Structure formats: structure tokens, C-alpha cells
Amino acid sequence: MILRTEVLFGRLRETLGRLGLEGRGLLCCRRGMDTGWAGGMEVLRISPEPSLEEVEGYWEGLRGKEFDYVLAVGGGSVLDVAKVLAALMENPGRVRDFFGVEKIPRRMRRLIAVPTTHGTGSEVTKYSVIRVGEEKWSIVSENLCPHVAILDEELMRGLPRELTLQTSMDALCHLVEAYLTRFCDPMVDLLCEQGIRLFLEGLEEAVEDRPEGRRKMMLCSLLGGIAITNAQASLVHALSHVLGGKYRIPHGEANSLFLPAFLEFYSGERKLEELEGRLGRRLREEVEGIRERHGMRRLSDFVGEKEALEVAERAYRNRRLVEGNLRRVELEDLRRMVLRSL
Ligand SMILES: [Fe+2]
């Protein structure tokens, strides 16, 4: 198990103060965030799920300026874009040169990642996902693991109900998918199990915006991030990257559409059955119950059968995510999964 990020817990400003950062900082955040506390840092506001062209535009605006560190405060998009910008500060080339696995030769400029949602786990992952036209492309590099993550559940208070559900579902998918890849080791197994437990305990509390719920989901998301950095995601993400890119569906929601069918695909798998035995719950029933209770949409609310089958075909081409599975996956399996999710 590898964790390249120093993980700190506490209120953002006090914890930042303890880090004793020196020099000039770049603050990446979402539009509309109050940055009155940011002092002399240059502020860059990132739009939600930005395209490759937008990210290139951000870099154009920064080129030639020197920064000693990057502080990213926000959801998955903000953190993912900040990683790419920090990588460009240390590496030659353009954003498009980084797509794929381990294409970034040098560790990025010092990055402090502070999540304000509890889903992507990007504060500790080696991933950055960027929208390219109608697709979502991944950059995968150990040199993208943030140097420091600051976890402050206060920043997650007041997150709207929908976003709470969607991002939490993303975290759950990371844990479940990673658990069912070939890359899991005994320690990652433990992280996945504990993360899933936190999800089951904390989701409804988080939806009600209770502090203990936010804290549990924050930890769940963190564990999910560590899990996918060590063992990667799989079929749910292969499908959701295609669907989300083309139809602009929020990442967590796109994942949640496919999770029950993914669990069905793995029914009878000894490793999953053992986990469910220890949890005392059937995960597919739990997920379906949550989706129903909260009126979450189905795949058929976005696409018909023909488009769904196209999603399966394109997802099947994502060899990295398809081949990592514990079970052998055929195109027919993905077709069955999408039809079952309609
Ligand atoms: Fe994800």
C-alpha cells in the first residue's frame, strides 16, 4: 500500500498556518468562493468540469509567473485541474502530453489539496480527469499525488442534498470497485471495508448535514481515494466516464446508475460474499434502497437502449479499467450491465 500524501486533519486556516508555507502561492478554487483570507496568494477560479481547452487557457494565464506552491480548495474538478497546473510548473510539454499512465516525469510543484466535497478522494489520488470534447480522459501518475491533504469537515457543511448523495456514491464506488480488482492487497482490503462501513453508517447523517455524518463521509472519501490509487476503479467508472462525458451527467450520479448492476455482475464472488457477511448487509440491496429512497434517476432518464449499448461498447475499449477486474469481463457483460441499469 502506497500513500504519497501527508494527511492532516483540522480547521483549514489553522492547519495551513502550522505548515508554515513560504513564498508565493497560487490558490485554485471554485467560482464564488470567499477568498478574503487568502492574503497575497494569486487566485484562479476553476469552472465546474472544465474542458481541456479551458485548462490550457488557465495555464496560458499563468505561464511565466513563478509560484512556490499551489493550494487547491474545492471539489474534484478544482483539485484535478490544480494537479495538472502544478505538474506543468515542473514538467515540459502541454496538458495533452500527460494523458495516459505515468507520462509525467517529475513530481509536480508542491500541492496542498483541500476537498470541499466528499467523493473523489482526489486529495490523495494519482488521478486527474479532464473533459476532452465528449469524453473524459484520465491522467494517471504517481507524480500527481498531492504533497499534503488537509481534511476539514467544516468545509463540507451545507453541501446541497443532491451533491451530497452524488459525491458520496462516487466514494462508495471507489471502495467497491477497488475491492474487486486484481490489485488489492490485504491493507487496501481493510481500507475498503472500513470505508464502506463509514458510508453505510454516515450517508443519511450527511444528507441531513449533521457534523458526524460529514466527518464519516469525509473519511469514506479519503479511504476511497487511497484505495483507487493503489488498486484502481473498474467497470462502473469505465461506463460513467463515457456516459458523463457525452451527456454531461455529474460524475457521482453517473456512477450510481451502474453500481447495482456491477454488484450483480459480481454476485457469488467469494470475496464480496465474505465482505457482506462481515458487514451483515447485502450491498446491492443497500444501494438500491438508497437510490429509491432518495428518488435518484435511472439510466433510462438520460438515454435509450441504443445509446446505452453504445456506452457499453465504448467503455469496453477502456482496457485499463476493464482488465483490472477480479473476474474476466466480456463485452456481453457490459451490455448486460447497461441494459439492467435502464
Ligand atoms: Fe470517481
pLDDT tens-digit map of 90-144: 999 999 999 999 999 999 999 999 999 999 999 999 999 999 998 999 999 999 9
- Dihedral over Cα of 182, 186, 187, 189: its sign: positive
Residue listed under C-alpha cell 458520496: 168
**Type of residue found at 322:** V
Name the residues around ion ligand 1, CB cutoff 5 A. Answer: 170
CA of 237 to the centre of ligand 1 (A): 6
Fold of 159-341: Dehydroquinate synthase-like, alpha domain (1.20.1090)
How far apart are alpha carbons 273 and 128 in whole angstroms?
32
What CATH number does the domain located at 6-154 have? 3.40.50.1970
CA of 8 to the centre of ligand 1 (A): 22
Residue listed under C-alpha cell 483539485: 79
CA of 279 to the centre of ligand 1 (A): 23
CA of 223 to the centre of ligand 1 (A): 13
CA of 290 to the centre of ligand 1 (A): 18
CA of 225 to the centre of ligand 1 (A): 9
How far apart are alpha carbons 55 and 52 in whole angstroms?
5
CA of 184 to the centre of ligand 1 (A): 17
CA of 174 to the centre of ligand 1 (A): 6
| The pLDDT value given to residue 209 | 98
- The number of helix segments (H) and strand segments (E) in the chain equals 13, 9
CB atoms within 10 A of CB 31: 10
CA of 126 to the centre of ligand 1 (A): 12
Q: Are 167 and 215 in contact (CB under 8 A)?
A: no
Q: Where in the chain is the domain with CATH 1.20.1090.10?
A: 159-341
CA of 172 to the centre of ligand 1 (A): 9
CA of 40 to the centre of ligand 1 (A): 33
Q: Where in the chain is the domain with CATH 3.40.50.1970?
A: 6-154
**Type of residue found at 143:** N
Region of 76 on the Ramachandran plot (φ > 0 left; ψ -120 to 50 alpha; else beta): alpha
How far apart are alpha carbons 57 and 51 in whole angstroms?
10
| The pLDDT value given to residue 24 | 96
Counting as low any pLDDT under 50, the low residues of the chain are none
| The pLDDT value given to residue 250 | 92
pTM: 0.96
What does DSSP assign to residue 325? B
CA of 103 to the centre of ligand 1 (A): 21
Q: How far is CA 155 from the centre of its chain?
A: 17
CA of 280 to the centre of ligand 1 (A): 26
CA of 123 to the centre of ligand 1 (A): 12
